[in-house]
Amino acid sequence: MEVIVEQTVEAMSRAAALEVAEILNAKPNAVLGMATGTTPLGLYKELAQMCRRGEVDFSHVTTFNLDEYVGLPVTHPQSFHYFMHENFFKHVNIPLENIHIPSGTASNYRAFCDWYENRIKECGGIDLQILGIGSDGHIAFNEPGSSLSSRTRLKTLAKPTIDDNSRFFNNRDEVPIYAITMGVGTILEARKCLLLANGKNKADAVSAMVEGPVTSMITASALQLHEDTKVFLDESAAGKLKMRDYYTWIQNKKPGAPQR
């Protein structure tokens, strides 16, 4: 894992956007794994601006989202379909047919999940997976206790996640308890992962992911087994890392690196 600490959430988003752009410029038909939530909003804004300025092109890109709530139609303002179109897809030149988001209203979830996994393979696998982290250490909706080999499936959300996400709903009872989510095993097959985290409420989860043992109790810690993962943090999310100075030193020692 490579840990990059930026001073602000804006700088974190910008650094991650440059990374995504570099990959798309090297491989214009790349397959991107997308995340929802508050964390990647700055990244998506940066990418949309870069697209408008002609610095990055999405016309040959294919995307696969990590997850979706079960029971919410695509038009529901809290569905991840709605979120992605409002916050990203409608601001870039991606063809609609290249977008994949798990269905929250499938009649046969098991068949849908198998189809989703196969579709990722048919498209050549995910080149770059964008990730956030839950305060309980989850990636996608792989809650504590999820198998580190898990695949796309129906998952029951944990209480801390329902509490965290209730901020988007009128009340806690409206938060769906089930989601369709890519598994940890699915995520680990991406060629590269970029995980973003900001804010002090993520500091414990980040330190457990980066410096704790690999455990299904913090599913993000499985990224320690991934050969090409970059973790972009702001100062607050990095606040509990024991080896913080070492990570900065590594970044400063890279050829041509700006001094932090």
Active site residues: 67, 136, 138, 143
Candidate ranges 51-59, 85-93, 131-139, 231-239; the one touching ligand F6R (CB under 6 A)? 131-139
Nearer to ligand F6R, 118 or 201 (CB): 201
18 contact partners, CB below 8 Å, separation of at least 6: none
Whichever of 29 and 69 has its CB closer to ligand F6R, that residue is 69
CA distance 117 to 120: 5
Shortest distance, position 168 Cβ to ligand F6R, whole Å = 9
134 touches ligand F6R by CB under 6 A: yes
Q: Give the number of residues written for the chain.
A: 260
DSSP one-letter string for 213-227: --BTTBGGGGGGG-S
Site string for ligand F6R, 94-113 (x = CB under 6 A): --------------------
Least CB distance from residue 36 to ligand F6R, whole Å? Answer: 4
DSSP conformation letters of 153-172: EEEEPPHHHHHHHGGGSSSG
Min. distance of Cβ 253 from ligand F6R in angstroms? Answer: 30
Pairing assessment for the beta strands 192-197 and 229-234 based on DSSP bridges: parallel
Of 65 and 98, which CB lies nearer to ligand F6R in the complex structure? Answer: 65
Q: Which of 177, 107, 117 is nearest to 153 (CA)?
A: 117
Nearer to ligand F6R, 161 or 256 (CB): 161
In this structure, what are the phi and psi dihedrals at residue 23, rounded to the nearest 5 degrees?
-70, -45
In DSSP terms, 62 is beta-bridged to 31
Q: Which residue has the tokens 């995340």?
A: 35
Rounded to the nearest whole angstrom, what is the least distance from the CB of residue 120 to ligand F6R in the complex? 16
Given the rule CB under 6 A, which of 7-15, 84-92, 136-144, 244-252 is the region that contacts ligand F6R? 136-144
Is 29 or 38 the residue whose CB approaches ligand F6R more closely?
A: 38
Residue 197: Cβ within 10 Å count:
27
Look up tokens 């308890």; give the residue. Answer: 177
Q: Write out the two tokens for 152.
A: 């796309």
> Closest separation between CB of residue 255 and ligand F6R, Å?
32
Nearer to ligand F6R, 19 or 67 (CB): 67
Burial environment of residue 18 by CB neighbours within 10 A (0 to 12, 13 to 18, 19 or more): middle
Measured distance CA(99)–CA(85) in Å, rounded: 10
Q: CB nearest ligand F6R: which residue?
A: 132
Q: Which of residues 13-72 bind ligand F6R (CB under 6 A)?
A: 35-39, 66-67
Residue 220 beta carbon to ligand F6R: minimum distance, rounded to whole angstroms = 9
Which residues are near ligand F6R by CB under 6 A? 35-39, 66-67, 132-134, 138-140
